[in-house]
């Protein structure tokens, strides 16, 4: 992939596809991590005299204008981080966007309204998507892909626009790809992967692919209960995907054949219900009461997981160990994060809820080698899939 250093940007309009999909509480941004991650590329281009037009999505408005998904609060925060005003277009490719794009001076930055307000952005129809891409590309002379969290989507701004303009990868995408190559091509060993989150089905492909690459697979979170059930244990009212039991049994057998150490919880916090203040107690993972549900890994499992990470040379972590949004059930996720910080290893937090948990728990982001901005994109890369946005930049 070409990088932005290869582009002559001074005095030229550069369309930057960023990932600014941040959580909002009304107009308040509750986690600006993705905005901060986008700043270096935008700042570099503006500093070299580019006329920067940033485009991004927020939420799932499904091709319709929805004020609650406006990027206006993001424009304000981006301006604060850049230390200069960011002009905000009230549409994506309409009169406001065209006027602002044409009026930019060297070094100025603008942000377009939410790409997903336009049905063509996510359209499965190549012609409809292409027609929108034509209009979006028409705003600029150059294209920079820097929204790693969206590169696994075949969307107009990610896949079609770079086919219409001279293009390059931004610093964020370059950094993400370098990290993922370290995880897939020749990782330092022992190589441990920690997977959590709610559903096994979300991680089927990555588990299947990683079984051929890792030394140790540590399973926590809601998905662990399907593994425990597959081994014949009672899981009570815990999250369970019964339709995945056969596949999980296959994973367990394959791990055994390949000599991959599979580490499952030995105890869990079993609660009377799904609530922040639910009564709960630590019980053995093989004896969860039928009227309770596991909401976090227990204290013995936290010690076990930490010990299994202490000697690792490479660690990839994706997915919380419990319902970290509830303080009472955040201890498992904190324990894994702290174990990664303490490990003398190349540690990668695989975006999504894991990255959000690190910030919510107040842990130092520089305690990890890398925190990805793209959970889904990271997982699909590790599955070995071709990511449309990366393929378009490699052309």
Strands of the sheet with 191-195, listed across from one edge: 261-263, 216-219, 191-195, 314-318, 346-349, 370-371
Catalytic residue (choose from 199, 213, 303, 385): 199
Which residue has tokens 């309409």?
Answer: 94
User: Is 352 tagged catalytic?
Assistant: yes
Catalytic residue (choose from 236, 332, 376, 389): 376
Q: From the annotation, which residues make up the binding site?
A: 19-21, 34, 57-60, 116, 153, 203, 294, 325, 351-354
* Torsion sign over Cα 264, 348, 334, 195: negative
User: Would you call 26 exposed, middle or buried from its count of C-beta atoms within 10 A (0-12, 13-18, 19+)?
Assistant: exposed
Q: From the annotation, which residues make up the binding site for (2R)-3-phosphoglycerate?
A: 34, 116, 153
Q: Measuring CA to CA, how many Å separate 113 from each of 42, 67, 77, 226?
A: 17, 10, 14, 41
Catalytic residue (choose from 33, 236, 352, 375): 352
297-336 burial: b if 16+ Cβ within 10 Å, else e:
bbeebbebbbebbeebebbbbbbbbbbbebebbbbbbbbb
Residue closest to 51 by CA, chosen among 113, 111, 112, 104: 104
Residue spans of alpha helices (H) in the chain: 33-47, 72-82, 95-103, 119-122, 126-137, 171-184, 204-210, 224-230, 245-258, 299-310, 331-342, 352-360, 375-383, 388-394
User: Is 376 tagged catalytic?
Assistant: yes
Task: Give the whole-angstrom CA distance, residue 80 versus residue 82.
Answer: 6
- Other beta carbons within 10 angstroms of residue 271's beta carbon come to 26
Catalytic residue (choose from 13, 34, 87, 237): 34
In the three-class reduction of DSSP (H, G, I as helix; E, B as strand; rest coil), residue 297 is classed as strand
Residue spans of alpha helices (H) in 235-374: 245-258, 299-310, 331-342, 352-360
For the chain, the straight-line distance linking the first and the last C-alpha, in angstroms and rounded, comes to 8
Return the ∠ at Cα 61 (arms to 379 and 37), rounded to 5°: 45
User: Is 334 tagged catalytic?
Assistant: no
Q: From the annotation, which residues make up the binding site for ATP?
A: 203, 294, 325, 351-354
Backbone φ and ψ of 14, nearest 5°: -115, 120
Q: Which two tokens stand for residue 291?
A: 């009227």
Which residues participate in catalysis according to the annotation? 34, 199, 352, 376
């Amino acid at each position: 992939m070409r990088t932005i250093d290869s582009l002559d940007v001074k005095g030229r309009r550069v369309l930057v596809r960023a990932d600014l999909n941040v959580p909002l509480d009304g107009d308040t941004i509750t986690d600006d991590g993705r905005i901060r991650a986008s700043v270096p590329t935008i700042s570099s281009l503006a500093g070299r005299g580019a006329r920067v037009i940033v485009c991004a999505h927020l939420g799932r408005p499904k091709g319709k204008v929805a004020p609650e998904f406006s990027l206006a609060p993001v424009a304000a925060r981006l301006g604060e981080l850049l230390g200069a005003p960011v002009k905000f277009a009230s549409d994506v490719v309409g009169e406001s966007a065209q006027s602002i794009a044409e009026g930019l001076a060297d070094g100025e930055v603008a942000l377009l309204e939410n790409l997903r307000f336009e049905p063509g952005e996510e359209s499965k129809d190549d012609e409809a998507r292409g027609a929108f891409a034509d209009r979006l590309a028409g705003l600029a002379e150059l294209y920079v892909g820097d929204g790693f969290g969206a590169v696994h989507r075949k969307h107009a701004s990610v896949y079609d626009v770079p086919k219409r303009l001279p293009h390059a990868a931004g610093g964020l995408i370059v950094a993400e790809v370098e990290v993922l190559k370290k995880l897939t091509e020749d990782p330092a060993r022992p190589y441990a992967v920690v997977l959590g989150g709610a559903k096994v089905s979300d991680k089927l492909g990555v588990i299947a692919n990683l079984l051929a690459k890792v030394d140790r697979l540590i399973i926590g979170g809601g998905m662990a209960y399907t593994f425990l059930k597959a081994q014949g244990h009672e899981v009570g009212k815990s999250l369970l995907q019964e339709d995945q039991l056969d596949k999980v049994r296959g994973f367990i057998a394959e791990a055994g054949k390949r000599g991959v150490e599979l580490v499952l919880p030995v105890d869990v916090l079993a609660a009377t219900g799904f609530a922040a203040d639910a009564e709960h107690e630590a019980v053995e993972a093989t004896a969860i009461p039928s009227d309770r549900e596991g909401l976090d890994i227990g204290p013995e499992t936290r010690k076990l997981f930490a010990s299994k990470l202490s000697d690792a040379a490479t660690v990839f972590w994706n997915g919380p160990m419990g319902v970290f949004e509830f303080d009472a059930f955040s201890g498992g996720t904190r324990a894994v994060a702290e174990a990664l910080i303490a490990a003398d290893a190349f540690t990668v937090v695989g975006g999504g809820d894991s990255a959000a948990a690190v910030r919510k728990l107040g842990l130092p982001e520089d305690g990890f080698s890398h925190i990805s901005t793209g959970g889904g994109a990271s997982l699909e890369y590790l599955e070995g899939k071709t990511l449309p946005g990366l393929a378009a930049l490699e052309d």
